[in-house]
Amino acid sequence: MRVRWHRETAAGAGPSRGLKRRRSLLLGIGSLSALCGLALLGACTTVPRPPAATPQARWQGRLSLKVYSKPVQALSANFDLQGRPEQGTLALSTPMGTTLAQLQWGPGLATLQSQGQTQQFGSLQELARKATGTDLPVASLFAWLQGRDEPAPGWKTDLSEIPQGRLQARHVEAVEADLKIILEP
């Protein structure tokens, strides 16, 4: 369709009636096209969702912990860590799948299930100390496993191999300890 604009020759004369209709029609079609285009653009975009307060996470793999107490304590187990620092679980099991211990924590809750017994503790730190023999910073493990070097009192971390699924940490105060984690792919 070819639109031809007419120039009015008389001074002060406005556009002809036919020209007014064509302009109205073109403006109406243009506005409708613009609205349709915006609607299509809107349909292609995603509405951003607000981030979760603290996302749930889950890691599985092998854990080795050596505590240089007298006598030296060593733990080598499969682990399943899930939740977040404020609420979660850490399950430790043998390579054959037998559960060694189940740590569970949340607001006002810190329990250890081991050898058929359940024990209650006042804090996650107290629970971890009883279960592992050292001040294992379970809450910091979430950050470490994400590659963030969150400080934990007395612990030095090596996160250089996190992209390969490996973590090393060393407790250097009071009773020394070595922690090594290999994540499942």
Report DSSP letters for 87-138, one per residue. EEEEEEE-TT--EEEEEEEETTEEEEEETTEEEE-SSHHHHHHHHHSS---H
pLDDT of residue 6: 35
Q: Rg of the chain's alpha carbons, rounded to an integer?
A: 33
Q: Which residue has the tokens 């050596």?
A: 66
pLDDT of residue 40: 36
b (16+ CB within 10 A) / e for 22-59? beeeeeeeeeeeeeeeeeeeeeeeeeeeeeeeeeeeeb
Give the residue among 179, 177, 160 at the shortest CA–CA distance from 168.
179
Q: Is there a cis peptide before residue 55, judged by omega within 30 degrees of 0?
A: no
Tokens, residue 35: 């609205």
pLDDT of residue 5: 35
pLDDT of residue 61: 97
Tokens, residue 152: 């934990």
pLDDT of residue 84: 94
AA letter at 67: V
pLDDT of residue 76: 95
pLDDT of residue 78: 97
pLDDT of residue 177: 96
> In the chain, what are the domains?
57-183 (2.50.20.10)
pLDDT of residue 185: 83
pLDDT of residue 48: 36
- Ranges under pLDDT 70 in the chain: 1-56
